[in-house]
Structures are given as structure tokens and as C-alpha cells.
Structure 1
Amino acid sequence: MADKTAFEIPEQMRALADKSVDQAKKAFDDFMGATVKAVEKSETSAKTLQSGARDVNRQALAFLEANVAASFDFAQKLVRARSVEELSQIQQDFLKKQVEAAQSQGKDMADTIGKAASEVQQQTKK
């Protein structure tokens, strides 16, 4: 049997190693905490962005539906017109209403997009 050679680690080295492990664990814990916060923040921002996109899409569909309905109404009025003057008046009325609708819809859409962007921006500040 071979003699066992006694090998002792000096107490100071043990203390230094122990302290190094504790510091590494703390650094890792801090890193993981920051990572979890970043992931939560991005998930919240993504949900807010999805909600805003959903609002914009719904509004766009509502505008599309209104514009198509106005176009069908316009077409029905055209086929019922009895004179060139009446056709001209129907067309002028339609164009005027559509320009007004486009302006209103553009403003509403800009407001909705601005609101969604603002909400996302607020979420990223938290």
C-alpha cells in the first residue's frame, strides 16, 4: 500500500475560493434577474403591439366595409338616374362624401396608430 500524502489547502485559499464562488453565483443571479425582466418587458411590449395592430386592423376593415357599402349605394343610385344632370349630381355627391370620409378615416387611423405606438413606447419605458 502506498503512503497517502497529506495535502491540505490553506484556510486563506479556501476562503478566497469560497468568496469567488459566492461572487460568481451573485453575478449569475443578477444576470438571470435582468434577463427575466428583459423577457417580461419584451413580452408585454409584444402584447401591447399586437393589441394595437388588432385595433388598426379592425378599424381598417370597418373603413373598407363602409367604403364598399358607399360604392354599392353609389352604383344603385347611378343605375336609377334618369338624366345626365342627375348622374352628374350623384357623382359629385359621392365624390364629396368619399373625400370627407377619406379625411375622417385618415385622421381616425392616424389617431389609432399613434395611440398604439404611444402604448408600446410606455411599455418599453417601464
Structure 2
Amino acid sequence: MDQDGRDRFEIPKEMRSIAEAGFDQARKAFEHMLSSAQQTATTIEDRGATVRANAKDITTKAVGFAERNVSAALDYAQQLVHAKDLGDVLRLHSEYVQAQMKALAEQATELGQAVARAAQDAAKPKS
């Protein structure tokens, strides 16, 4: 073969058609995979935003509860300082414990509802 014959290489038409069809299929599959990945990333971002918003709400509630509980404890301590006798101390203690038990029950209910809402929001399918 001469130099021209060795340098030229021709792919038969049938092979070229098969290769082009394979490349087209691969390209379409890649584009479909890329589109699915982008949709998944968007869904994850949306869920992340929902989870972050709910986590912020729960944290805000918990901090608010802690502030109220510390304030109530400080008020109780101040009242104890001004108690006149053991009867006052026992009455103040009883009132404090009853008030705190009621407050803690309400706080637990409210926090539980917020956590349940957060879980439901996180599990909701995005449309």
C-alpha cells in the first residue's frame, strides 16, 4: 500500500450508523441522568430549607422555654430570700413546683407538636 492508502481509513456505513446511534443513545441517557440529578438536587435543597426553617422554629421555642424557666427559678429564689418562716418557704416551694410542672407539661406539648410538624414537613413529597 502506498502512503495514501495507509493514511486513509474508512469506517463502513453500517458501522458508522451503529456508532452514531450508540452515541445518540449515550448522549440522551447522559442528559436524562443529568436532568434527574438536577431535580434531585433541587428537591434536597427545598427539603433542606424546610428542615432548617423547622429547626429554627424548634430552637427558638426551646430557647424561649429555657428563658421562662430560668426567670421563674430566679423569681422563686428571690421570693425564698424574703420568706418570713418555714411555712412561707413550704408554700412558695409548693406553688413553684406546681407552676413549673404545669409550664413544663405545656412546653413539652408545644415542642412535641413542633417536632411532629417538622417531621411531617420533611416527609411530604414536593410537587
TM-score by shorter chain over 0.5: yes
Corresponding letter in the other structure for 1:18 = E
Closer, same or farther in 2 for the Cα pair 1:84/1:7, shift >3 Å? closer
Alignment correspondent of 1:58: 60
2:4 maps to which residue? 4
Give 1:27's aligned residue: 29
User: 1:3 offset after TM fit, Å?
Assistant: 4.1
> What is residue 51 of structure 2 aligned with on the other side?
49
What is the rounded CA distance, in whole Å, between the counterparts of 1:21 and 1:61 in structure 2? 58
> 1:110 is aligned with what amino acid?
G
What is the alpha-carbon root mean square deviation over aligned residues?
A: 1.2
Aligned residue pairs: how many?
Answer: 123
**Larger RCO (alpha carbons 8 Å, 6+ apart):** 1
State the Cα distance separating 1:8 from its structure 2 match: 2.9
Q: Which runs of structure 1 show a deviation greater than 6 angstroms over 4 or more consecutive aligned residues?
A: none
* Partner residue of 1:118 out of 106, 114, 120: 120
Tell me, which stretches of 5 or more residues in structure 1 are unaligned? Answer: none
Measured after TM superposition, the shift of residue 33 of structure 1 is 0.7
- Provide, for residues 101-125 of structure 1, a one-character-per-residue CA deviation record: whole Å limited to 9, x for no partner: 1100000010111111111111xx2
Whether 1:36 aligns to 2:38 is yes
**Given residue 22 of structure 2, which amino acid in structure 1 is its aligned partner?**
S
Give identity over the alignment, percent.
28
Structure 2: runs of 5+ lacking an equivalent: none
- What SS class does the counterpart of residue 114 from structure 1 fall into? helix
Q: Distance in 2 between matches of 1:121 and 1:95?
A: 38
Matching residue of 2:78: 76
Question: Quick one: which amino acid aligns to residue 47 of structure 2?
Answer: S
